[in-house]
Amino acid sequence: MLVLEPDKGILRKAGKKELYEAVYLLTMLIPIGKVTTYKSIAKILGIHPRTVGIVLKKNSKPIIVPCHRVISSNGSIGGYSWGGKNVKKKLLEIEGVRIIGEKVDPEYIIDIGEQLIS
């Protein structure tokens, strides 16, 4: 991920703090009742999807940064460091996301990049 420094007129590689802020900000844009994928967030930032997972695993404010709304690109729920997969599944169901077996119904998956354009 690159960051523009307007006062210097240069681009530089983002630091850890900026990367975390960007991932958290995009995660906060996911509407209630919808989910996005690690890959969708990674694509916007130009990073690997696993990096998104690592950042979200360290999320210390799950009420503010709803990391439970981020899933694998194949629709599987994946892990959740705030109580495990069953807690993540329950939170999504409470928010109205339909889960079939261990996967989210594709109807509820959004591309977060499209949210930024509309």
Task: Quote the radius of gyration of the chain (alpha carbons, Å).
Answer: 15
Which residues contact residue 28 at a Cβ distance below 8 angstroms, ignoring those fewer than 6 apart?
Answer: 64, 65, 66
- Tell me what pLDDT residue 66 has: 97
- Look up the pTM and report it: 0.89
- Tell me what pLDDT residue 4 has: 57
**Mean per-residue pLDDT of the chain:** 90
Give pLDDT tens digits for 46-98.
999 999 999 999 999 998 999 999 999 999 998 888 888 999 999 999 999 99
Q: Catalogue the active-site residues.
A: 67
d(CA 102, CA 118): 30
Domains in the chain, CATH or no CATH each = 13-112 (1.10.10.10)
